[in-house]
Each structure stands twice: as structure tokens, then as C-alpha cells.
Chain A
């Protein structure tokens, strides 16, 4: 008994310290980043289209980066969601069980590949391909979206498959027993029953895309302009921070932390929304 409570205390301490570490980091980011947002005014910071820390006076408008982030993320979803949901549906509903049990962990391994490797492949193969066969300089929103689209697949597939598998077999049996085909059963019974979990999978994939840094830096060209087409270069919030923080001082440094605050809020909103949707489904 005594030992038990000692172990409990130790575990509690460990848990608390990780929570505390996160809280400290969060506080730090907000303390460093918030002042400049309010000094400059949230409107001009968020929607100002000029980012020029070297100018006199320096300009800190991050709209181009917000646009870049959403353009690259949106493109990634356009690619990753159909492929990811399609794969999950195929693996959980149509593939022989053996195939699914081999492929799912294999796909989850994708998540373990360092993003710099994805970026490298993008730089070496994808960007030149886009330059030679589609147009532009190759370093583009399209390249970033394609790479991110692949990188979010493990998240989307793995969560979607878990959701689909948790749909009771009795629903499918009831549908088959009425003469429905596999596809009708999936479309009209299984997917609606799994809807909230699938939405959560997509949102978490989106969170992953918004937060990805390395691969994006390597393939998007990093130009701080609002992208005009999928072939234009773009810079994301994460890339902006990662590339400049090293040399930034004073206001510039504050502005980069403010980018962190914006990112933090975006990801918090996405995760909260995903949790909420997932819970909604459990209650119904």
C-alpha cells in the first residue's frame, strides 16, 4: 500500500512537471509575442500585407504568411483527404483483413519519416518536375501541398481506420441482411455512423499540416507575398519563424513570437474543434 501511494506520487509529479513545462512554454510565447500585436494593433499585424523587418521603419504585417499557410494547408487537404479517407475506407471495409493488418502499421511508419527527408525528396524530385512540366519556378504552393498532402496521410488514415473499425459490426450486418451491397453499406450506414471521427481525423491532419515546418521551407520558395496561384511561391508562418528567429532582435524577434502566438491559436482551435466533434459523435 505504502509503495503504491509512493508510485502514485511519483507519477503525479512527472505528469505535473510535463504540464508545467507546457504551461511555461505557452506563457513565454504569449509574453514575448502579445505586446507587439497590441502595440501595432491586431488588425494591421494580422492583415497587413507588408513584412519587411529590415526597412526603416520596419513593417510587420503577416497576412502573406497567413495566406501562405492556408494555401499550402488547403492544397494538402485537397490531396490528402480524398486519398486518406479512400485508403482508410478501402482498408477497413473492403480489403481482406490480412492486407489491412499489414498495411496499417506500414502506413503509420510513414509518420516516423523525418520531415527533412520529405523536404529533400520534394526539392530533388517534385519541384524540378513542377518546373519542367507544369510551370513556374517549381518552388511553389503546389509543391508544398503535395508534400504535406503525403505527410498527413498517416494521421488521416490511422484515425479514420480506428473510427471505422469502431462502428459496430451489427450495423453492417443489418445492412447486408437487407440486401445492400458493400458499397451501399459503407456509404449509407458505416460512414454516417463514423462521421464525427472522420471529421476529427481530417482536422487533426490539418493541424499537422499547419504546424509542419522543415519540408515546407525546402519546397515552397519562402517568398513573403500572398500567393496568386498554386505555382506561386509562398511562405508559411512556421517557415517565417524558423528561418528568421536566429538573426532576429528587438521588435523583429517579438514579431516572430507573435507569429507563434497566431499559430498556437490556430492549432488550439483546430484541436479543440476536433475533440468536440469526436465527443459529439460518441454521445449520439
Chain B
């Protein structure tokens, strides 16, 4: 589905990725773990080319999406980001109503309007289990929701454009334990329809929800494999040190 090949990235003179290769399996959850500043977010943002927005960043290597290199100049950015959506660390709903947040993607891509749009919004909110809570409050300002609801809303906003991949950058780090558990359950549910890549600080979370885990250190992907295997029988010493908490 998605595959990075010898991916390198510089912020100015600083190299944040030293040649990362990894392949993302469809309809599975792939977790990227590692200490702060090791390049997890940077790697994730290569999959939808969000690093393009950072002035002075430069990428080398390939990211294949359905066999095509998205780093190619000719690749259609709008199409890429429609199909590879991103959830951010801090919930970032637009300062609009609940409805307008979810309808935002379908509208800018000209997917639907009128009743068809309302149906898309409803389905998207249902898929994140927000419909029961917010179905009557579609005109409420999104910023008035709880943090968990906001994060769910951000996920609904992606689901509404029917992407193939969901990139999640520490989606629970601004949430309390209860909300975190709810979002994790939601991820397991969403996995049936989407391919998910999640960055997390939280090793238990990676162990709980993911099928594959990659461990990063200082811009390198040190180890990558099935979650079960990485956590029980790490092949690299550094991975073992990190997951047993002896790192640093």
C-alpha cells in the first residue's frame, strides 16, 4: 500500500531521517515508536508530504503509494492528501460548526452537496461513534466539544473523504486515559476499513493496538516487524533496551 525506500529528509542542514525503508500493510495498524526527537513525526509526515509545508526541508528517496512515487513532482498533492489523511497530536477542528468540519473535505473536493453531503456527514460521524452524541448538535461550534470529541471529530473529518490510509501522530497524547481507551477501540474498528499508521510515545499503546511496530532512533528505523515479535523477541539490542525501559 505505502512503502518508503531509502527515505532521507533534511531540515536545513540537519538530517532528520537517514534513509528509512519500511512497508505499510493494508488494513493493519502500524505503530512507530521511539524516543522524543528521533524522527517519528517526520517519517509520518513524509507519507502525505506535510513536510513540504516546512520551509527549508528537503527530501530524498521514494515513497511509493500504489506503486507510484509520491515524491515525484507530478504527483497530485490534492489527490494524495485526500487518500492519505492525517490526525494530529492536538485535536485541531476548524473553528466552524460540527457539520462544517466534517463537510469540509467533501466540499473542497466537490464530492457531494445537499442531501448527499448530509448523508456523508452522518456516516462519518457514525463511524467514529459521534453521531449519537452530536447528531442533534450539528450546528454547535466544534471548539465547544470535549477533547475526545474533538479528536473523534477530526477523524470523522477524514473519514468523510473516504481515504485509504489514516496517519495518526500521537492522537491520544492530549486525552485522558478513558478517552485514550475509547480512541484505541475506535482504531481497531477503523482498521477494518482503513490502513492505519500511528506514531506513539506510549509503548503499551503500540503493543495493545498495532499489528506491526517500527522502532526509531536518531533518524534511523532500527527495527521493524510484527508487533508481537518486536516486543517479545527484539532482534536489536537498542530495541530491547528501549522497550524494557533501559534506554537513555
A residues lining the B interface (CB < 8 Å): 96-97, 168, 170-171, 173-181, 184, 188-189, 192-193, 284
Contact = CB atoms under 8 A, between A and B. Distances in A.
30 contacts: A168-B92, A170-B90, A171-B92, A173-B50, A174-B93, A174-B94, A174-B154, A174-B157, A175-B104, A176-B50, A176-B53, A177-B48, A177-B50, A177-B81, A177-B85, A177-B86, A177-B88, A178-B85, A178-B108, A178-B158, A179-B80, A179-B81, A180-B78, A180-B108, A181-B108, A184-B108, A188-B107, A189-B96, A189-B104, A284-B95
Interface of B: 48, 50, 53, 55, 77-82, 85-86, 88, 90, 92-96, 104-105, 107-109, 141, 143, 154, 157-158, 161
Closest 6 CB pairs of A and B: A179-B81, A170-B92, A179-B82, A177-B86, A179-B78, A174-B92
Nearest to B161: A178
A8 to B, nearest CB: 39
A224 B187 CA distance: 73
Contact of B53 (A173, A179, A284): A173
B95 A179 contact: no
Contacts of B80: 179
Contact of B95 (A96, A184, A192): A192
A116 to B, nearest CB: 41
A169 to B, nearest CB: 9
A184 B106 CA distance: 13
Nearest to A195: B95
Given A179-B108, A179-B109, A284-B141, A193 B50 contact: no
Given A179-B105, A188-B108, A173 B161 contact: no
Nearest to A98: B55
A170 B161 CA distance: 19
A122 to B, nearest CB: 40
Contacts of B85: 177-178
A154 B55 CA distance: 27
Given A177-B48, A179-B78, A171 B95 contact: yes
